Amino acid sequence: MNTPTAHSQILALLHKHHTLRPIHIQKLTGLSRQRIHSILKALVQSQVAIKKGMAPRTYYSLSKPGSRSSETVLQLTSAQRESLTTEFILIKKEGHQVTGQAAVCEYAYEHNLDPQKVAEEFLQDRAQAAPNDPEENDHLVELLEEKKAVKAGTLTHYNFADYKETRRFGATALAQRLCAAKSSQNLVMQVEIFKKIEEQIHAFIDECMIDAVAFVPSSTAAGKTFMREWKEYLDLPFPHINLVHPSNGDNVPQSAISMTTHKTANAEQNMAIDDHRCYTHVLLLDDTVLTGATLQSTAAALLDQGRTQQVSAFAIIHKQTPSQSFGQRAENQ
């Protein structure tokens, strides 16, 4: 006599009892909760079973023609729901994006977690690694100078659209979109990013009284395409300083280099200023600031060569240093 598998046991119980909660299945079978949730998840995904209700009172039953699983209703304020819609994202194949409560529930189901708890923990993490308050721009250059590669006094002002990651949930929504937009070279995704940060860039330019801009060139083909599209989209009415990588064919992406000192040396070696004009205040535009080595070397070169009196920088994504707490801004308020 063959011993029934866990999968067949659960199917038999659903046939017999019609509707069951995971805790009931555990009592009837003795299977672990993790094993039960894994099987139930597979049954729902294959449309053999449907899921009803909200955790912790979630029920499962065999699917019938026309039946489907209900969306989990999370207990959230309108502001929290709006935050999840904007900030919680799952990017799937071919750039398909799932956001908001649907993304939270899918993430929770994938990891066998309570969606309500996931939402609450994410909102807490996001509050601690929130995008910048415009009134705090003067302090952001100090945040940049905490990076070992950046020397105090090189950059006058600094700002960025968002952090690279949160404490427990990895990359922020903007960081995920930026990575996907660059790697796929999807122009629609790129334009969405440009639109999101356009107003912030113009406000920063006005605040700093910028009279020239320079787009930090990438060392990868996808990165070069992204920066070119960004430049064309902004179409800023200022002189553009041409920054170039020497065409020696040996350029190594900054993200591929481990040691900070090597990143600095690479940035200094792989950047040249192809411009002899002089300005008062130049703005460097970069997609991602990791160690800050490229910003430091480029700003220092502009200042040392007398191309400008001041240099400021704006980045789409800023990576926190290991010594920086994710909640630094929230804790200081």
Report the pLDDT value the prediction gives residue 249, as an integer from 0 to 100: 47
pLDDT tens digits, one per residue of 90-125: 987 766 788 998 888 878 877 767 788 899 999 998
On whether both 253 and 195 belong to a single domain, the answer is yes
The pTM assigned to this predicted structure is 0.72
Report the pLDDT value the prediction gives residue 114, as an integer from 0 to 100: 79
On whether both 213 and 184 belong to a single domain, the answer is yes
pLDDT tens digits, one per residue of 207-237: 999 999 999 988 889 999 999 999 999 999 9
On whether both 202 and 269 belong to a single domain, the answer is yes
Tell me what the mean pLDDT of segment 135-144 comes to.
Answer: 77
pLDDT of 248 higher than 50:
no
Tell me, yes or no, whether 1 lies in a domain.
no
Q: Which of the listed residues 127, 143, 167 is the one where a domain comes to its end? A: 127
CATH of the domain at 154: 3.40.50
Q: Which of the listed residues 93, 127, 161 is the one where a domain comes to its end? A: 127
On the question of a cis peptide bond just before residue 56, with omega within 30 degrees of 0, the verdict is yes
Query: Which residue would you say has higher pLDDT here, 283 or 325?
Result: 283
On whether both 216 and 261 belong to a single domain, the answer is yes
On whether both 121 and 141 belong to a single domain, the answer is no
Report the pLDDT value the prediction gives residue 20, as an integer from 0 to 100: 85
On whether both 273 and 197 belong to a single domain, the answer is yes
pLDDT of 55 higher than 90:
no
Q: Which of the listed residues 62, 91, 107 is the one where a domain comes to its end? A: 62
Maximum Cα interatomic distance, the chain, rounded to a whole number of Å: 88
- Buried (b) or exposed (e) across 172-209, using 16+ Cβ within 10 A? bbbbbbbbbbbeeeeeebbeebbeebeebbeebbeebe
Query: Which residue would you say has higher pLDDT here, 201 or 61?
Result: 201
pLDDT tens digits, one per residue of 292-308: 999 999 999 999 999 99
On whether both 234 and 155 belong to a single domain, the answer is yes
Report the pLDDT value the prediction gives residue 19, as an integer from 0 to 100: 79
pLDDT tens digits, one per residue of 31-44: 999 999 899 988 98
On whether both 144 and 52 belong to a single domain, the answer is no
CATH of the domain at 11: 1.10.10.10
Report the pLDDT value the prediction gives residue 238, as an integer from 0 to 100: 93
Q: Total structural domains in the chain?
A: 3
Tell me what the mean pLDDT of segment 5-20 comes to.
Answer: 88
Tell me, yes or no, whether 73 lies in a domain.
no
Q: Domain range spanning residue 171? A: 132-332
Tell me, yes or no, whether 215 lies in a domain.
yes
Tell me, yes or no, whether 30 lies in a domain.
yes
Contact 263, 254 (CB under 8 A): yes
Report the pLDDT value the prediction gives residue 329, as an integer from 0 to 100: 42
What distance in Å separates the CA atoms of residue 10 and residue 14, rounded to the nearest whole number? 6
Contact 55, 115 (CB under 8 A): yes
On whether both 231 and 182 belong to a single domain, the answer is yes
Q: Name the percent of the chain lying above pLDDT 90.
A: 51
What distance in Å separates the CA atoms of residue 17 and residue 127, rounded to the nearest whole number? 44
What distance in Å separates the CA atoms of residue 25 and residue 300, rounded to the nearest whole number? 66
What distance in Å separates the CA atoms of residue 317 and residue 214, rounded to the nearest whole number? 17
